[in-house]
Structure 1
Amino acid sequence: MLPWKRLLRPLTALLLTAAVAAVPTAAAHASSAPDHGWNDYSCRPSATHPRPVVLVHGTFANATDNWLTLAPYLEARGYCVFSLDYGQLPGVPLVYGLGPIDKSAEQLQAYVDKVLAATGAAKADLVGHSQGGMMPRYYLKFLGGAAKVNTFVGIAPDNHGTTLNGLTKLLPYFPGAEDVIASAAPGLADQVAGSAFLAKLNAGGDTVPGVHYTVIATRYDEVVTPYTSQFLSGSDVHNVLIQNLCSADLSEHALLGLTDRIVFHEVANALDPTHASATTCLSALS
């Protein structure tokens, strides 16, 4: 084994450990809280908002921490809101989205079925951040999700993978590096631009009929690069660059899904286009 490769294995493990350690102490308590404060399976969608909303977290996140602001925002507007954990790795607590993405999509499939059965709704809407804004496309395309989903909103999604500002292009210069990453955290390897997973996902077109797609991106995204790779092509796609709505919005990748109220306003517009209103910088105050 090459000397650098011996170092890469513990380095990968160290990065995973550091990601777990970086989760605030409050997150541990939040993740153990029953039903996250939403996930109310007795909730029945209203005539105004007839579909439950399923929130899909990103890589190194979980069903609680990713949605501490958006979930209450949507609940306050009368939606039945749900979220799931997916992509767990053995021995890695609190942070998820690290397992093979096709298997994560199967977890989403089962969860949407559970939500529809509980609420009595015929279809759900999906809102995802980062990997959570891309992974559901596998469910829609290959696992029958298009028949059960009306609207899908991706916030900073890595729809065509990421180069991490060019860093992933260095992997071929280190023989075996890609295999090490795929073994330690296959969900990360699947998101690298040019991966076999993404080739399958995007073959034959970005979208499937019957689903309304919205993509919300920021030009300051430092995780999914280039940011333009987030956008989808299709006849029922609304691609949004947040700076075109508010040039003063400097949110990067994480903040776009965690706290950006301008993004939240666009999410609300996508979920209920009949009552949509113009999104401006003032939408951050709504």
Structure 2
Amino acid sequence: MRDKQMLNVGKVSKLSVIDVLPFGYTLSGISQNAYGEQEHRVFLPSSDCDQSLSAGSEIHAFVYYAQDGSLQASLKKMPIQVGEFALLTCTGVTDFGAFFDWGLERDLLVPRAMQHKSMDVGLSYVVTLIHDKDNEKLLGCSKLYRFLEETNSELKIGEAVELLIYDESSLGFKAVINNRFQGLLFKSDLYKRISIGDRLPAFIKHIREDGKIDLSLQKLGKTARKDLAEEILEDLAAHGGISTLTDKSPPEEIQAHYNVSKAAYKRALGNLFKQKKISLSKTHIKLID
């Protein structure tokens, strides 16, 4: 007996091909609801399929609503699924909302009530994808605070996390943490330029008394200093024991080489100098045997 395939609208689902048509394929999938299981028919247009399929094949396809409300599928790689966050470009604006390119024939609608600020054609915004089951629609929303946890009871100071930068304030940049929490990167802590939509690794810098999360792009504390110092020594050893990257070098060069701020690099050099592992001059640093 063939395994049942679970269908989730707005996500990539495992489906079965049950019929081959001149202009596409009919797929079958089963969803779970409060009343039990329900079988669905899903149409996969040839234009959304880059391979030849046969009846009985099992595929993974993104399931969405066609204009008439029926279920449709696509084998295109989608930039976003329900519950995820992504940077999308606005293609049109009307009185009732803004439209975004997400790779399908019909653009994604972000209703005006779901916009955190006015949107302009040609600009990009971070949105999340939601499934409006009552109205059988997939919609975008840029009011991300509705879907992110502002306080934390799981993350620890110093823990490595993944960020998606989604907004800028007077204090710094707001970020989605691990696709679940929200936190803040203070501008005073930045050592390189970042932009809305950037995905980058970071660390938990501080968790305030109210549970709100502060972030850092660099490791913190003794472990960070030790790791950077070891990296500097390894780099010197690999390049004949000499480097022209000194504490006088431009911040951009230091960031490009070690991905740290100039202040962090200077601290590491100072510690290595005190430990008599390197010598310093205005033009170079040298490894001491």
Which TM-score tier does this pair reach, normalised by the shorter chain? under 0.3
TM-score of the pair, normalised by structure 1? 0.25
Relative to its length, the structure with more helix (as a share) is 1
Which structure has the larger Rg over C-alpha atoms? 2
TM-score of the pair, normalised by structure 2? 0.25
